[in-house]
Structure 1
């Protein structure tokens, strides 16, 4: 596998067959994996114009991070992890006792979890799992970890309706005569044909709907429907019973389906929840100060060990692994 082919894979410029062949090559031998990480590091670094021509670039970013802490209010710290440093370090780190249990290329299972007597199909994913599902109309859904999708074996003549618990990315086949509706807690999302993301876990305080392409309507009770435009996210706060619209980078929101987690001023407590779902681990925050932290950064197909290393390098966070449980605390003197 040459460098040009690996760069095409990194840029997501391959079809499914080429991707699978590349992944098989990477996994075939540790030297292949090392070469891939090095090419990826070089590519990531080449995309940053402000990186100094300094072989000790890791220390440069760490110093810039420390300086950014001093300039901010002590009440809330913003933790930044540079993508290039993450990838560079991933070449050197060992996997340790935890491994990344999510495949880079998600499976496309044709089987179902369970078929019920009412004709509905219930598809469930566990922690650390991610699956592709194809509906009877040809629509594609990527179901995130700890999620459930309920849909009929066959859609009726006038409506395509599904129920989601958890998170999923929807790529819906257009049919103006058969609207597609997602039931998610107290919200209904209505579309004709579009791509969008819904995050609606039972234990979360909010429901998030992000539009990537097309148009969707949010319907709550008998209220007037709210129409989203591409790159808009609707956030419904359950306890306050209120809905807010904000502008986002939609491709960052749906990066999870490609194995990446991207955070933008996200409370560390929410970051931990996403890490637990993705890596099938238990993480405890043993510091009141850390609850006030917000994190901005990208974890690009890293193992949980690499994620923990990044946290300790890019922030005053320490960790320990005891009885398969990860504990976090602050290291502020």
Structure 2
């Protein structure tokens, strides 16, 4: 595998066949994985070569905060950049350890369900596109299950979701589209929206991207969402809240990007576990509630952990197949 091909993969410039071949080569041996890790680190580091002109929200703003907002001059910025490059490229001890917890490729399972329905399942570390009988497109996130009929023959189009999915629904005024979760129903005619409803999570989130949706709970009056609004249903409190969000940030996971905005670290860890098929333990009540802001843009778990330590008061250790986060 040549460097040019690997760089194209890192930049997401390959077709699906080329991506598959590249992934197979990287996973073939620890040596190949190390070559990939170093090249990816070099590429990321190269994006900071014009450090004074970089939007510093993620790296340097947080670095400035960590030294009590002391203003940095140009040479200090360069020093920070060099430190980041050094950490990303030369810390091979962590690379070797993390090679032992690199998630294996998971599979998507489509199987028969009761009453002539199909159930589509994704494992942790996976996501998949699903096309429904009416032509609607659904992107199913990791560790999720979507159940739907072979054909939409009734007066409604009804599916059931456990987990997270992005829906792009074909408009049909004669057949409303219903998404059943374990707490609420979402009713639409034709629109795009995101639903996050994992069984173990404490809340259900519905984010509207385009169009209009209605949230239905028991016999209560439906609540209508407008674009860029997110409805958060807190299961324990049986309470529904509406908030304004950047909808494209919420659905960035479809393209491999995780964006967090003052998100409790306990929730960040859960999303990372699902995306990378790993186990994360946080042995600190203070860290569990620590609010993290940052973006992981198609990074490996090695790079994610490094950025966490650079941008937050967090350190990590690896024991076997588990990652431990500590203050």
Q: Secondary structure at the match of 1:224?
A: coil
- The answer for unaligned runs of 5 or more in structure 2 is 27-31, 71-79
Give runs of aligned pairs for residues 1-333 of structure 1, distance below 5 A.
19-20=15-16, 23=19, 49=53, 63-67=63-67, 90=88, 94=92, 95-98=95-98, 101=103, 113-330=110-327
CA offsets per residue over residues 145-171 of structure 1, 9 Å max, x none? Answer: 111111101111421100001111111
Between the aligned partners of 1:236 and 1:315, the Cα distance in structure 2 is: 29
Count of residue pairs the alignment pairs up: 302
> Is the Cα–Cα contact under 8 Å of residues 37 and 88 in structure 1 kept in the other structure?
no
Q: Bigger relative contact order, structure 1 or 2, given CA contacts below 8 A and separation 6+?
A: 1
1:193 positional shift: 1.1
Between the aligned partners of 1:174 and 1:229, the Cα distance in structure 2 is: 17
Larger deviation: 164-173 or 94-103?
94-103
Q: Given the two structures, how large is their TM-score scaled by the length of structure 1?
A: 0.77
CA offsets per residue over residues 178-217 of structure 1, 9 Å max, x none? Answer: 1111001121101111111100111111100001111111
Q: Secondary structure at the match of 1:156?
A: coil
Between the aligned partners of 1:19 and 1:44, the Cα distance in structure 2 is: 27
Please, what is the CA RMSD of the aligned residues? Answer: 3.7
Q: Secondary structure at the match of 2:308?
A: helix
Between the aligned partners of 2:217 and 2:50, the Cα distance in structure 1 is: 46
> Is the Cα–Cα contact under 8 Å of residues 316 and 326 in structure 2 kept in the other structure?
yes
Between the aligned partners of 2:152 and 2:64, the Cα distance in structure 1 is: 55
Between the aligned partners of 1:102 and 1:255, the Cα distance in structure 2 is: 23
Between the aligned partners of 1:154 and 1:130, the Cα distance in structure 2 is: 23
